[in-house]
Structure 1
Amino acid sequence: MKLTCLALVFSSLFGFASLGYAQNNASQDGVKVGDMSIMRKFAPTGALESQAAAQYAQTMQQAQKQRALGPDDNPQVMRLRAIAKKLIPYALKWNERSQQWKWEINLIGSKQINAYCMPGGKIAFYTGILDTLKLTDDEVAIVMGHEIAHALREHGAERAGKANVANVGVRLFEMWAGAKGYDPNLAGGVAGGVAKFSMLAFSRGDETEADVVGLDIAARAGYDPRAGVALWQKMGMVSKGAPPPWLSTHPAGKDRIAEIQRHFPEVMPLYAHAKGVSVSSLPPYQTNVKGIAPVIYSAK
């Protein structure tokens, strides 16, 4: 019981150490999110970008050897790069470092339903996500904007920083517990469990932030934010049996849809402006899969 109480103290301290957000009101339109977490300061961002570039190059080389790397003249590769070309100019304001990134985007032949953007702007899509979900260009833009947002918001450095702090915290907790006469191994196990579940929650927060920032980027580039709703409805069709949200680093699909819809008042005017029309004149978003109703937004 005493160790449980001590673990609660550890949890509170770990949570407090991870706070580092202040409202960012630099932009008068679009979404508003907090400043990037101070926890990324506990990890070398430059080194992470160099490591990511090396890992990305190695992954592409392996894919090429396996004849799984999409060639430059592949229609899907050209499509992805065209969408990225529209998104990236609207991504740069979110991170000054991104203006010096050497952006790359490639397609890997695999059934994986996955895509990512590594620190430094290294983007990869798998054919599985394009083919299985039958993504429209708007939906590709939502996925790509989300992944780019992870890199822009330095979530990789943030997670590494949190892990470093958590490891130090667990060791200190073990030492303190031993000095008080408790079993250090038991104390470390309890504290480690608390840190693990705290990290899951933080990762879900990163996912939500990436969703929101990605919507802003996609909307400014002229891609319909309502495609995010259809995207997660599609994901729901293929991700049955996924773990409950409190045990996953990703929020539940219905939660993501609700969050996306909550930000429609901020991003739909951006999309309408990019299209040169009024919000009220925008037709509903209709995806390409039967059973998914048109997504409607009515400005109040």
Structure 2
Amino acid sequence: MITRFPIDRFASALALLCLLGVAAPGQAQPAAEESKEEGVKVGKMSSLRNLVPEEQLEAAATQQYTAMKQQAQQQNALAPDSHPQVRRLRAIAGKLVPQALRWNPRAADWKWEVNLIGSKDVNAFCMPGGKIAFYTGLLERLQLTDDEVAIVMGHEIAHALREHGRERAAKSGLANAGAKLAGIGLSALLGIDANLTTAATGLGASLTMLKFSRDDETEADVVGLDIAARAGYDPRAGVALWHKMAQLSQSAPPQWLSSHPAGQNRIAEMQKHLPAVLPLYSRAKGVAQQSLPPYRSNVKGIAPVS
């Protein structure tokens, strides 16, 4: 057993201020933009992310992740390496990560890490640079199967691969810069004082608690399905997972659900992409697609997913 970790107190303690310098926008890396093979197709990553140096954001994420682990360990809330659920999560990540690299070549150099924190919160995240954490509340309250864990983990990994956090940081920096520069005369704007630009882009970021746009969440769902299917996990588990979430949220929405759009629209979007990812899953399992049995949830009241 591990002690429960007070996540809300940790979140406020981790309000880390990152001063991110503005870099000139670069060209997107074609290999990272979309899979050229079978599977899902998504658009190019936002060019706004190029305003934030990737190395600085990943360094900030590593710093926050280390602080989180240290505080959790002090409170006996960090599950040890020998914990069965930690071994389970790391085994699943070991299958997902090799399939994730097609979406972002930089991920091959990330120092991937997976940890489990004792908390009743239904939550999980993957920071920039491949720092993954699951909370025990997510595993226990939803009774996640391995396939469903892979769907959640693939979704969170997709946020990091598609650099949604970097894009959000850039947008925050632009908003801060706009507010700063709005009070400066037009001549100063045309002159572009470098000191003003650097100061304006200072922003606070708690990378464990990022809330992404609806489009980002949909993209992470779709890319996560692709990654899970290639790794041999049933992508139809995503439909069952969100039915479980709907059951859980009838009383009070969990933290992970409140920061992610849910409901029938989300399930419908997953179902729309199943024809693109089921061939990947059947190939990974070494069976014909027509021979795949329906996915059956381990919770009553959720219909099998064909």
TM range (shorter): 0.7 to 0.9
Residue 260 in 1 paired to residue 276 in 2? no
Cα displacement (A) at 1:162: 1.3
User: Which runs of 5 or more structure 1 residues have no equivalent in the other structure?
Assistant: 1-19, 177-199
Q: 2:232 aligned with 1:237, yes or no?
A: no
SS, match of residue 263 in structure 1: helix
User: Is residue 295 from structure 1 mapped to residue 305 from structure 2 by the alignment?
Assistant: yes
1:264-295 superposed Cα distances (whole Å, 9 cap, x missing partner): 11100000100111111100000100000101
| Counterparts of 1:216 and 1:147, CA distance in 2 | 13
Are 2:282 and 1:272 aligned? yes
Asked whether the equivalents of residues 80 and 105 of structure 1 are also in contact (C-alpha less than 8 Å), the reply is yes
Q: Does 1:211 align with 2:218?
A: no
| Equivalent residue in structure 2 for 1:89, among 98, 101, 105 | 98
Give, in angstroms, the shift of residue 250 of structure 1.
Answer: 2.6
CA distance in 2, matches of 1:143, 1:240: 20
SS at structure 1 position matched to 2:126: strand
Percentage identity across paired residues of the two chains: 66
**Runs of 5+ unmatched residues, structure 2:** 1-27, 186-209
Shift of 1:204: 1.1
- Alignment CA distance shift 1:80-1:26 (3 Å): closer
SS at match of 1:225: coil
Q: Aligned pair in 2 of structure 1 residues 26, 227: CA closer, same or farther (>3 Å)?
A: closer
Q: What SS does structure 2 have at the residue aligned with 1:70? A: coil
Looking at structure 1, the residues matched to 290 and 305 of structure 2 have their Cα atoms a distance apart, in angstroms, of 14
2:154·2:227 contact (CA, 8 Å) conserved in 1?
yes
Higher-Rg member (1/2): 1
Aligned residue among 159, 162, 174 for 2:168: 159
Instruction: Give the TM-score normalised by the residue count of structure 1.
Output: 0.78
| Structure 1 residue aligned with 2:52 | 43
- 1:126 & 1:27 partners in 2: Cα distance? 34
Q: Distance in 1 between matches of 2:174 and 2:236?
A: 38
Question: Could you tell me which amino acid in structure 2 is paired with residue 164 of structure 1?
Answer: G
CA distance in 2, matches of 1:74, 1:25: 36
Give the conservation status (yes or no) of the 8 Å contact 1:101–1:120: yes
Aligned-partner Cα distance in 2 for 1:30–1:242: 35
Residue 68 to residue 266, structure 1, CA distance change in 2 (3 Å): same
For 1:209, the aligned partner's letter is E
Q: Quick check: 122-131 or 231-240, which moved more?
A: 231-240
1:67 is the counterpart of 2:51: no
Choose which of 87, 100, 103 in structure 1 pairs with 2:109: 100
Aligned 8 A contact 1:225 1:267 in 2: yes
Q: Do 1:87 and 1:217's aligned partners in 2 also have CA atoms closer than 8 Å?
A: yes
Q: Which residue of 1 aligns with 2:5?
A: none
